[in-house]
Amino acid sequence: MTEGIAKKFMFVNRSAPYGTVYALESLEVVLISAAFDQDVSLVFVDDGVWQLKKGQQTKGIETKNFSPTYRALEGYDVEKLYVERESLEARGLDEGDLLVDVTVLSSGELGRLMDEQDVVLSF
Amino acid sequence: MLHIVNKSPLERPSLDACLRIAGPGTVLLIEDAVYAAARGSAAAPRLAEAMQRLKVCVLLPDAEARAIADRLIDGVTTVDYAGFVDLVAGHPNCQSWL
Amino acid sequence: MKFGILVNEGPYQHQASDSAYLFCRAALARGHEIHRVFFYHDGVNNSSRLTEPPQDDRNVVARWSKLAADHGIDLVVCVAAALRRGIKDDNLAPGFRISGLGQLVESGIQSDRLVVFGD
């Protein structure tokens, strides 16, 4: 633990779940970063928004359904979840399709938020 | 901010996402993303338009490896790995659009 | 300036590890410090000492080991990602060590810049 330094960490999620491991392993870093008391934001762009789709059933592919973890993030004080509006719309989704409360931002707003970060991690 | 893109624009939407979201700063094309800056590529007009608000750089060793160093669109700046390092150091933060 | 590096892909399949290595070498030549290189996802495969590329190809693993030896760079392999993929202390190349994801977050905190290389 490094004392006294809180940096702004942003996790940029642009991959759909299950097809590749990136979404799951990104979530593992998010949980660890919360333990370091950093200022953490998660953003979901492009196919990354599918990570938050309600109703994931993974029994048939014999893979762990990790989507409930997004709802548990609040318990780790990770409360800043952002979704890009253009990405949602391009996939026929709206906020009601998502399994957790998010802030929907325009591309421009997201760009400005990204500019403010110290560390931007993408997987 | 420095935006690093490494995928061909005809394979992935990384460059489009980057150009849509990026604020002022620099876009550095590395690996397969250098194809975006090839003259006549379908992505070249989008890149040219983005140059009005963003600086666009191409990692020359990647362009040379892919035989397009002699056909890059006007307005892009080529850099070597030392230039890549300078770009990272010269911007307050960076994002890799994987 | 102090750089942290994240490598998300394994050797040979993707260019990520090559790009990261060439970036590190250029940064060191420029007088910068590489605080740590963290290997995650399939990136953990960069640490296998069982790797044997053909003689006319670059040796990605040995190259990282040499860079670490020459410049005292901390090469850290994520334990959870490593165990998933059969990387253990027994088959770790010189200069690499296995540790937790906290090392990546710490590198983000302690470095001036963290640069991500992946697919």
* Chain C interface includes B21 (CB < 8 A): no
DSSP secondary structure, chain C, as one string: -EEEEEE-S-TTTSSHHHHHHHHHHHHHHTT-EEEEEEE-GGGGGGGBTT----TTS--HHHHHHHHHHHHT--EEEEHHHHHHTT--GGGBPTTEEEE-THHHHHHHHHSSEEEEE--
For the question of an ipTM over 0.90, the answer is: yes
Q: Say if residue A42's pLDDT is above 80.
A: yes
Specify the number of domains making up chain A: 1
What are the boundaries of each domain within chain B? 2-97
**What is the domain range of residue C12?**
2-117
Residue A1 has pLDDT above 80, yes or no: no
C78 catalytic per annotation: yes
Q: Which residue has the higher pLDDT, C68 or A5?
A: C68
Q: Which residues contact A14 (CB under 8 A, 6 or more apart)?
A: A45, A46, A47, A48, A122, B14, B17, B97, B98
Residues spanned by the domain of A69:
8-122
Q: Among C2, C15, C19, which would you mutate to test the B interface (most chain B Cβ atoms within 10 Å of its Cβ)?
A: C19
> Would you say domain B2-97 falls under CATH 3.40.1390.20?
no
Reading chain C (119 residues) residue by residue, the pLDDT tens digits are 999 999 999 999 999 999 999 999 999 999 999 999 999 999 999 999 999 999 999 999 999 999 999 999 999 999 999 999 999 999 999 999 999 999 999 999 999 999 999 99
Which CATH number do you get for residue C67? Answer: 3.40.1260.10
| Catalytic, out of C73, C78, C82, C92 | C78
Q: How many domains does chain C have?
A: 1
Q: Which of B13, B23, B97 sits opposite A115 (nearest CB)?
A: B23
Per-window interface: C 90-119 vs A, CB < 8 A: 100-102, 104-106, 108-110, 114, 116, 118
The answer as to whether A91 is a domain residue is yes
Cα A98–chain centre separation: 12
Our CA-based measurement puts residue C55 at a distance from the nearest CA of chain A, in whole angstroms, of 32
Q: What is the CATH number of the domain that holds A56?
A: 3.40.1260.10
Is A1 inside a domain boundary?
Answer: no
